[in-house]
């Protein structure tokens, strides 16, 4: 069969909502797009553990500490589900990790911002995980089977992440004047980076149309961003706090919130490696990987020895 | 440094007694014991399972999707294998 015929069969299956599985024929560009997106997503989960791990030892109570540990452990799990999904596309785990460490593969820029106070754990749960969920729920219907299945599992678990974050902020918002200030300060710092998590505006997002046609993406960046703003603009009222955007206002005609312009210079600056924590995050990952090398080797040596003993017996 | 890597394992989980083990995903581990321990940590953090199977991915043999048509088509024209194929009077009860 010619490539054109194969491509037609492939697109017909996608159009009729039949999932693509690892051994099915797929265009190279589809495979590459998925590898890029899934591995970037996996890296984000793994690097995303770092800003929160920063607060595990300083959580204000045992309940908060247990919750935070469980959340960080979930993120490790999410990274592993996604790495496995990407591996079905014929890229090895080592290759993906090497791409992360060399800077070739990106991860979500949000994790290049520092976590300065305990309130940041709340703001990350509410806003960062909230934005992630908004992006991830439609991915449960992505056309590539292993990716969609991994996302179903992830979405089930993310809901607790967002709720515990909001609870942290709610507690602070009902606390002392200092605690309320801390709460507002965290929202102020995390709001715009969270709004940027949806990626460039639709008109400057060149790959979006193809990803939509392949049903990897179901909604455009701006659609999802608008939905996020609409929801948060209401939720923030429950906290008695404000979002740091003077232009935020309800538009009766559109039935949506209008919001201010995004600082895309900051966005691209962080994407290109110049955010407040880019170097620190990558260095922490590389060091963890290198420090763990002897463990990986020892486990292999032990497994080999056990196998020999068994064969000899 | 050794170039050998931890092999890939497929994980199957029985969610409760009485149900089949179902494919949950895959992971890397040095041996079967570690694969089971990792499967517990990765796939059963919320009581998703009461039993875990792991099998090294290289031991799984699968059908080729390109041959699906010839492999499954012969079953397609044998409607008489389904109970609804048989035309029986409505008065017939308990069948």
Q: Measured between alpha carbons, how far is A201 from B92 in angstroms, rounded to an integer?
A: 66
pLDDT in tens, A193-212: 999 999 999 998 877 889 99
What tokens does A281 get? 């995050």
Q: Measured between alpha carbons, how far is A108 from B53 in angstroms, rounded to an integer?
A: 34
| pLDDT for A53 | 93
Average pLDDT over residues A107-132: 97
Flag if B30 and A303 touch (Cβ within 8 Å): yes
Task: Tell me which residue has tokens 């785990």.
Answer: A93
Q: Is A250 helix (H, G, I), strand (E, B) or coil?
A: strand
A192: left (phi over 0), alpha (psi -120 to 50) or beta: alpha
Residues 6+ apart with CB under 8 A from B51: B13, B14, B21
pLDDT in tens, A59-80: 999 999 999 999 999 999 999 9
A309 lies within 8 A of chain B by CB: no
A131 and A198 in contact (C-beta within 8 Å)? yes
- Chain A to chain B, count of Cβ pairs less than 8 Å apart? 53
Give the count of beta carbons closer than 10 Å to the beta carbon of residue A18.
13
Q: How far is B85 from chain A (nearest CA, A)?
A: 28
What tokens does B25 get? 């995903």
A82 lies within 8 A of chain B by CB: no
- Asked whether the predicted pLDDT for residue A237 surpasses 50, the reply is yes
Residues 6+ apart with CB under 8 A from A43: A79, A96, A100, A105, A106, A107
Residue bearing the bigger pLDDT, B2 or B49: B49
pLDDT in tens, B3-61: 678 999 999 999 999 999 999 999 999 999 999 999 999 999 998 999 999 999 999 99
Average pLDDT over residues A108-133: 97
| Contact residues, chain B, for A25 at CB < 8 Å | 65-66
pLDDT in tens, A14-30: 999 999 999 999 999 99
Q: Which residues of A62-85 are buried (b: 16+ CB within 10 A; e: fewer)?
A: eebeebbeebbebbebbbbbbbbb
Give the residue among B57, B26, B28 at the shortest CA–CA distance from A299: B28
A126 lies within 8 A of chain B by CB: no
Return the axis-axis angle of helices A93-102 and A62-87, rounded to nearest 10°: 110
Best of B8, B9, B28 to mutate (most A CBs within 10 Å, chain A)? B28
Lowest mean pLDDT among A162-166, A250-254, B67-71, B82-86: B67-71
Return the axis-axis angle of helices A177-196 and A145-173, rounded to nearest 10°: 160
Average pLDDT over residues A140-165: 95
| pLDDT for B3 | 61
Its pTM stands at 0.93
DSSP letters spanning A154-183: HHHHHHHHHHHHHHHHHHHHTS-HHHHHHH
- Asked whether the predicted pLDDT for residue B1 surpasses 50, the reply is no
Give the count of beta carbons closer than 10 Å to the beta carbon of residue B83.
8
Residues 6+ apart with CB under 8 A from A215: A14, A17, A141, A142, A143
A25 lies within 8 A of chain B by CB: yes
DSSP annotation of B16 reads: S
What tokens does A99 get? 């791409």
| pLDDT for B78 | 85
Q: Is A144 helix (H, G, I), strand (E, B) or coil?
A: strand
Element (H, E) at B40: helix B32-43
- Which domains, and CATH codes, for chain B? 3-61 (3.10.20.520)
- Band the pLDDT of A232: cuts 50, 70, 90: very high
Flag if B34 and A299 touch (Cβ within 8 Å): yes
Residue A76: closest C-alpha in chain B: B42
Q: What sign does the CA torsion over A164, A165, A166, A172 have?
A: positive
Give the residue among A243, A281, A263, A244 at the shortest CA–CA distance from A113: A281
């Amino acid at each position: 069969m010619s490539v054109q015929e194969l491509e037609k069969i492939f697109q017909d299956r996608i159009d009729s909502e039949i999932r693509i599985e690892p051994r099915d024929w797929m265009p190279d560009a589809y495979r590459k797009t998925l590898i890029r997106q899934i591995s970037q997503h996996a890296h984000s989960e793994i690097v995303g553990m770092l800003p929160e791990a920063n607060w595990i030892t300083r959580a204000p109570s045992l309940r908060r500490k247990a919750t935070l540990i469980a959340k960080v452990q979930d993120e490790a799990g999410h990274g592993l589900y996604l790495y496995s999904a990407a591996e079905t596309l014929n890229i090895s785990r080592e290759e993906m990790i090497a791409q992360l460490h060399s800077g070739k593969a990106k991860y979500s820029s949000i994790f290049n911002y520092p976590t300065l106070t305990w309130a940041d754990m709340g703001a990350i749960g509410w806003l960062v995980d909230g934005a992630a969920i908004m992006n991830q729920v439609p991915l449960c219907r992505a056309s590539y089977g292993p990716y969609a299945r991994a996302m179903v599992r992830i979405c089930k678990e993310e809901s607790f992440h967002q709720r515990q974050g909001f609870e942290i902020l709610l507690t602070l918002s009902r606390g002392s004047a200092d605690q309320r200030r801390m709460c507002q300060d965290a929202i102020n710092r995390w709001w715009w980076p969270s709004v940027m998590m949806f990626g460039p505006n639709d008109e400057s997002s060149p790959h979006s149309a193809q990803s939509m046609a392949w049903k990897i993406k179901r909604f455009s960046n701006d659609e999802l961003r608008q939905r996020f703003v609409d929801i948060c603009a209401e939720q923030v009222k429950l906290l008695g706090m404000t979002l740091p955007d003077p232009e935020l206002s309800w538009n009766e005609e559109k039935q949506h919130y209008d919001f201010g312009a995004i600082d895309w210079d900051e966005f691209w600056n962080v994407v290109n490696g110049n955010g407040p924590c880019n170097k620190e995050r990558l260095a922490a990952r590389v060091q963890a990987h290198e420090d763990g090398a002897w463990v990986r080797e020892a486990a292999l040596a032990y497994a080999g020895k056990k196998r020999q003993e068994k064969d000899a017996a | 440094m050794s170039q050998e890597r931890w092999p890939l394992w497929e994980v199957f989980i029985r969610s409760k007694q009485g149900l089949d083990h179902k494919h949950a995903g895959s992971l890397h581990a040095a041996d079967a014991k570690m694969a089971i321990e990792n499967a517990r940590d990765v796939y059963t953090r919320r009581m998703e399972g009461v039993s875990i199977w792991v099998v090294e991915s290289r031991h799984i043999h699968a059908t080729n999707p390109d041959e699906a048509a010839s492999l499954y088509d012969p079953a397609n024209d044998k409607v008489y294998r389904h109970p609804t194929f048989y035309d029986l009077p409505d008065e017939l009860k308990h069948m």
